[in-house]
Amino acid sequence: MKHLLLLLLLLGAAFVAPAQQLSHLDSLLLNAQTFSKQKNYPEAIRAYQRVAQERTASPRYKALSYYNIACYYGLLHDAPNALRYLGQAIDAGYVNASHIAVDSDLELLHSDKQWPKLLARARRLEEKSIIHRPEDAKLVTSDIDHFWTAYAAVQRDTAQAAAIFRREYFAKASAGLQDYYKLKIASDQDFARTILGRPRYYNSIRKTTLGIAAEKPKIVAAFRRFQELYPAVRFQNIYFVVGGWVSGGTVSDAGLLIGADQTANGPGVNTSELSLVQRNRCAPVSEMPSLMVHELVHRNQGPQDGTLLSYALSEGMADFVAELVTGQVTNARLHPYGNAHEKELWAAFQQEMLGKDAHNWMANGRQETPEKPCDLGYYVGYRIVQAYYQQATDKKQALADILNIRSAPDFLARSGYAAALARR
């Protein structure tokens, strides 16, 4: 499945900045995705090889690149190279054995004598990396504390802002901020320029960002509730950083990396310097447990098939499960418009849902207007998932089905959503 890296790039789209300067790594990834969409597998292989060789790429991105390369060789019916790169992917840390086992791109390897050995090795390594208990997941907020120490020093000497942020913030970074910097920031000067360019906003969010630490018990409690509903859930470490609005969330070997300054709304916060979509997406800190469950769903759901329908289901289920677990409605701003225009949205969505162009429905911040929100694919996916859950008699099994969708069209049909909507 070659859409894993695209998923990483779009992770946290519910609260990511709509327009950000791409890093060199992001450009390489998008270039690789372009060849993937074109089914130009030889060029896609070369593109992902460049990603794997990029010095700023984290070990996780390197591992995913090797895995994608193995898949392309599988599609080219080149078993020796598919085996070679699958082995490299596993060695580099791609150990999602359940996904490897069912990935149709690697079917030609199933009869090879090396296949069971590779799969067994992935399973052994995967088991060592799994966090099974909510209380064992790290929820790290130290980078927020370091940022505000640096920010105070910057106010006394703005001319040296980049150097101060380097000394007082980045040099003291957690493992999560180290990865976030490599993946998303990459420039002390650009970071300092962004922070200083929004004085009213950053001067007003100190209290709310420092309040994230108080949300930790609530987040762990939400994780425990998730485990009660879905015992197979796997947890991960979470690092809260101040990122300068370059990314609301991404992942690395360290875990989930959250741009806390993009989820920092609350009493007294001045958002006048933000764009319309940034203001609308800037969630309050009180929603942090729901947002973290949303992101945890992404680490526990089945693979996408690259279609708009699959993408919408992956985000819609994250919103639905987060609400089921916490009682908080994630992306609540989408629902008033969605409820008022549901049949209209469904008619338009059907025209595009089996294609691979999601730009009218997902991560489409530039289409945000005061009358119509962007990201309405989240709403459509949520409603399909909700319909499936509501009609199921065994709710626990229904949740497991949702988190392990294998065929998006089949799941849509079994949900009964379209028929129920037509009857209204």
Is residue 7 pLDDT above 90, yes or no? no
The Cα 190–Cα 185 span in angstroms is 8
In this structure, are 193 and 94 located in the same domain?
A: no
**Residue 367 burial by Cβ neighbours in a 10 Å radius (0-12, 13-18, 19+):** middle
Query: pLDDT tens across 172-182, in order?
Result: 999 999 989 98
Give Cα separations from 223 to 79, 114, 180, 289 (angstroms): 41, 38, 23, 8
Is residue 354 pLDDT above 80, yes or no? yes
* Range among 2-6, 31-35, 63-67 with highest mean pLDDT value: 63-67
Query: pLDDT tens across 154-173, in order?
Result: 999 999 999 999 999 999 99
SS (H, E, C) the chain: CCCHHHHHHHCCHHHCCCCCCCCHHHHHHHHHHHHHHCCCHHHHHHHHHHHHHCCCCCHHHHHHHHHHHHHHHHHCCCHHHHHHHHHHHHHHCCCCHHHHHHCHHHHHHCCCCCHHHHHHHHHHHHHHHCECCHHHCCEECHHHHHHHHHHHHHHHCHHHHHHHHHHHCHHHCCHHHHHHHHHHHCCHHHHHHHHHCCHHHHHHCHHHHHHHHHHHHHHHHHHHHHHHHCCCCCECCEEEECCCCCCCEEECCCCEEEEHHHCCECCCCCCCCCCHHHHHHCCEHHHHHHHHHHHHHHCCCCCCCCCHHHHHHHHHHHHHHHHHHHCCCCCCCHHHHHHHCHHHHHHHHHHHCCCCCCCCCCCCHHHCCCCCCCCHHHHHHHHHHHHHHHHCCCHHHHHHHHHCCCCHHHHHHHHCHHHHHHHC
Q: Please say which residue of 95, 114, 129 terminates a domain.
A: 129
In this structure, are 206 and 163 located in the same domain?
A: yes
Q: Domain total for the chain?
A: 3
How does the average pLDDT of the chain come out, rounded?
Answer: 90
Q: Please say which residue of 243, 277, 295 terminates a domain.
A: 295
Is residue 11 pLDDT above 60, yes or no? no
The pTM of this model reads: 0.77
Q: Please say which residue of 95, 129, 163 terminates a domain.
A: 129
In this structure, are 139 and 114 located in the same domain?
A: no
In this structure, are 173 and 314 located in the same domain?
A: no
In this structure, are 208 and 357 located in the same domain?
A: no
Contact 322, 298 (CB under 8 A): no
* Range among 4-18, 117-131, 151-165, 245-259 with highest mean pLDDT value: 151-165
Compute how many other C-beta atoms are within 10 angstroms of the C-beta atom of residue 75.
Answer: 18
Question: pLDDT tier at 22 (50, 70, 90 boundaries)?
Answer: low
Is residue 16 pLDDT above 50, yes or no? no
In this structure, are 318 and 247 located in the same domain?
A: no
What is the mean pLDDT of the segment spanning 53-60? 82
pLDDT at 18: 36
In this structure, are 245 and 165 located in the same domain?
A: yes
Structural domain boundaries, residue 147:
134-295
Is residue 110 pLDDT above 90, yes or no? yes
In this structure, are 289 and 305 located in the same domain?
A: no
pLDDT at 155: 96
The Cα 392–Cα 401 span in angstroms is 10
Is residue 13 pLDDT above 70, yes or no? no
pLDDT at 20: 43
Is residue 6 pLDDT above 60, yes or no? no
CATH code, 14: 1.25.40.10
In this structure, are 171 and 283 located in the same domain?
A: yes
What is the mean pLDDT of the segment spanning 394-405? 97
Contact 269, 208 (CB under 8 A): yes
In this structure, are 185 and 245 located in the same domain?
A: yes
Rg (CA), the chain: 21
